[in-house]
Structure 1
Amino acid sequence: MDVNGTVAEGFEPVRDAFVKNFELLGDRGAAVTVYRDGHRVVDLWGGARDFDGDAGRAPWERDTAQIVRSATKGVAAAVLLLLWQRGQLDLDAPVGEYWPEFKAAGKERTSVRQLLAHRAGVPVLDRPLTPAEAADPDTGAAAVAAQAPVWEPGTDHGYHAQTFSWLTGELVRRVTGRGIGEWIADEIAGPVGADLWLGLPKTAQTRVGRVGPVAAPETAGALRTRPKRAVSEAYADPGSLTRRAFGAISPLPDENDPAYRAAALPASNGIATADGLARFYASLIGEVDGGRRLFTPETMEPARTEQSAGPDRVLVISTRFGLGYMLHGSASPLLSPTSFGHPGRGGALGFADPESGIAFGYVTNGFRKSVTADPRAQALVRAVRTALS
């Protein structure tokens, strides 16, 4: 595999792991970027830009971007935490204080904090939305506002795989008057120079590769905190919270469709380069290249402080969440107990580790069935840990 880019002295294990991802774990096209103390120490890319392309012999370039699925949730969470940092949002206020229609069907006391910690009790919709309906912020917001919770808000937690889009997007719109994609462009991506988008503009369409499914070795990737069979059964059962949560949009959208990429669904369809994802996380824990820092230390604390832990009503296995971020644990192994970030189903991963000053971004065009602990991303994380030691 012809791998391009650079690694700083001492970070050679990351390059070795990146090459092995192509040789052993099925990567077709991918990139990984790592920052340490706000400076880039790993910047690698390789393979083909398009997963499926016979036309797709076009190589992955340094500025190639890909859809990152649920890794988008970490960017959406930053919007709400920044609004709190600026005094525009109270984390402990009811969501209905900002969004009156949400005060329905037993959700009157659901707080912003519970929403971010996946404790709001609305991971499913009784009637799934079509892709066109899901892309309409008014339709999505109305559906989740009318939905009755499947557990009493605040009493348990379960991954809001799709509904996180309309929960966060509408709350931002009510507080700021702007769409969440516009807010991210103006207040996050632009100021820190990160190549990431929620609602892909036409000017960036040619930079985004096509994605597709890649087979996994039998021994790789499965979460083992509960028997693999139990997880498989939950996904196979049409009546399970697992299937219903991931099926809140049905049929699943075509992720290569320009119309889908132009929509703003903060649970699932952000697009980023590996550098954009890593640079975003670097800006949460410090200044990037001597420039702007997004989170104050006081804002970083709720992001990485445990709000939910234990068996997840949706993912079945045990998960840990701060406010909007997955935390280091068996479901999503990150760098250390201080790490916070978010994986994307099937591959992508972004996180920050305040203790070591590391910020990490990995994107790929080959998606696997794993939800959280993708073995390719995990191999790279282990290599970063080796480099630091």
Structure 2
Amino acid sequence: MIVERLLRPGFEALRDQFAAHFERSDEFRELGAGLVVFEAGEKVVDLYGGYQDPSQLHPWTGRTLTHIWSASKGVMAVAIAQLVDAGALDYDAPVATWWPEFAQNGKADITLDQVMSHRAGLNGFVEPTTTDDLYDWERITTRLAKQAPLWPPGSTASYHGMTYGWLTGELIRRVTGLMPREYISLHIAQPLGSDLWLGVPPGREDDIADIVPPQADLHPVKPNGIAAGPTINPRPDANTANLAGWRTAQLPAVNLHASAEGLARMYGALANGGQLDGVRLLSGPAIAGLVLARGEPRDEMLGERQWARGVALNRGGLYGDHPNAFGHSGWGGSFGFADPASARGVAYVVNRMGSALNGDPRARALARLATAQRKP
């Protein structure tokens, strides 16, 4: 059973599709999930259902916080775009402009643009790295500053699955004096009234949904030498999302926790010219810079993917049928995106992870219906 907190006329098919996912008989049967849509700055859909935990003792609520995996990257991309908008950063300038130590071992010319579009050649670690190492900000950023590129920067795109978070987060720290947790809270979450956290604060532990790891991918992609970086050293383990240390850490590429509305409010602003409820998140030119396509529509790890500056542009129906939609998805199915054509910002958060690396069937179906034209 789902809870329908808000459903404007014309979204009935979306509601029915969301409800149907709780009745599936395959690995994509929902345990718990939330779905929120904003249109032209107004919330028009607010649905949730299921449970926060596999034991089904704690029902999903409007306050449930979900680990959104790499959908976190879209939030970091907006944070960087804000700083570019303010003149504190420049996409075309070398990262070493603000982070001098980064110039070591042949990285002096790597630009912010290359980092944002996964073309920096730093998609993994050379030095042996454990999960516990990831909690130590200084250790990891120093490691990345010292490391040589794993492949020629700018030559191709290959998903910087974990390293993207420290590369962008350290730049935020260098130019603002704020850790990314504080920056996101002060400049994105609080102004928009978004329940969105990089590291869940004390007192919200009971609101966190337990992540259920995916089944083995039936159609696994064997990464080539370039793409292997995010899959080793350390090897990703979905169970880490349920560890207390992981939930409270700052891992900006992968461990933001959000309610469906919390993430949808950000994308609702982006789909509405950059503002929501009188709050200006980004200017029009800043949004245009954020969504500027970079390189060919191909990623060595993910396959067909057109990167912009930290967000993915819509190809192959990833975010509905409109080509100018953009956003970011997370491992297991969660996503957030903006669709300027319909002026809608959409977020779907889920705790039972699907196995598909690309194109979770639940996410694709919901994205299409969330942006479909409504009948008068």
Residues 248 and 7 of structure 1: CA distance in aligned 2, closer, same or farther (over 3 Å)? farther
Distance 1:324 1:246 in 2: 20
Distance 1:251 1:386 in 2: 35
Structure 1, unpaired ranges of 5+: 219-227
Q: Is the 8 A contact 1:14 1:384 kept in 2?
A: yes
Q: What is the letter of the counterpart of residue 11 of structure 2?
A: F
Residue aligned with 1:6, SS: strand
Q: What is the letter of the counterpart of residue 82 of structure 2?
A: L
* Map 1:1-389 → 2, pairs under 5 A: 1-24=1-24, 25-50=28-53, 52-53=54-55, 56-215=56-215, 228=219, 231-234=220-223, 240-250=225-235, 252=237, 254-286=240-272, 290-315=277-302, 317-330=303-316, 332-388=318-374
Distance 1:217 1:370 in 2: 6
Deviation at 1:375, TM superposition (A): 1.0
Residues 42 and 276 of structure 1: CA distance in aligned 2, closer, same or farther (over 3 Å)? same
Q: Deviations over 1:103-123 (max 9, x none)?
A: 012111001111101111110
Distance 1:216 1:375 in 2: 16
Q: Deviations over 1:233-268 (max 9, x none)?
A: 33xxxx744443233434646111121111111110
Instruction: Report the RMSD for the aligned CA atoms in angstroms.
Output: 2.0
Residues 35 and 2 of structure 1: CA distance in aligned 2, closer, same or farther (over 3 Å)? closer
Distance 1:216 1:333 in 2: 24
Deviation at 1:63, TM superposition (A): 1.2
Distance 2:212 2:339 in 1: 30
Q: Is the 8 A contact 1:162 1:248 kept in 2?
A: no
The 10-residue stretch of structure 1 (280-289 or 317-326) with the greater mean CA deviation from structure 2: 280-289
Distance 2:102 2:151 in 1: 16
Deviation at 1:387, TM superposition (A): 4.6
The 10-residue stretch of structure 1 (257-266 or 378-387) with the greater mean CA deviation from structure 2: 378-387
Residues 135 and 142 of structure 1: CA distance in aligned 2, closer, same or farther (over 3 Å)? same
Distance 2:179 2:199 in 1: 10
Deviation at 1:5, TM superposition (A): 2.4
Residues 302 and 246 of structure 1: CA distance in aligned 2, closer, same or farther (over 3 Å)? farther
Distance 2:205 2:309 in 1: 31
Q: Is the 8 A contact 1:326 1:332 kept in 2?
A: no
Runs of 4+ with deviation above 4 angstroms: 214-218
Q: Is the 8 A contact 1:162 1:268 kept in 2?
A: yes
Residues 345 and 294 of structure 1: CA distance in aligned 2, closer, same or farther (over 3 Å)? same
Q: What is the letter of the counterpart of residue 262 of structure 1?
A: T
TM-score, normalising length from structure 2?
0.93
Q: Is the 8 A contact 1:129 1:250 kept in 2?
A: no
Distance 2:287 2:35 in 1: 24
Residues 334 and 325 of structure 1: CA distance in aligned 2, closer, same or farther (over 3 Å)? farther
Residue aligned with 2:185, SS: helix
Q: What is the letter of the counterpart of residue 269 of structure 2?
A: S
Distance 1:345 1:214 in 2: 9
Structure 2, unpaired ranges of 5+: none
In structure 2, what is the equivalent of residue 223 of structure 1? none
Residue aligned with 2:123, SS: coil
Q: What is the letter of the counterpart of residue 32 of structure 1?
A: L
Deviation at 1:335, TM superposition (A): 4.4
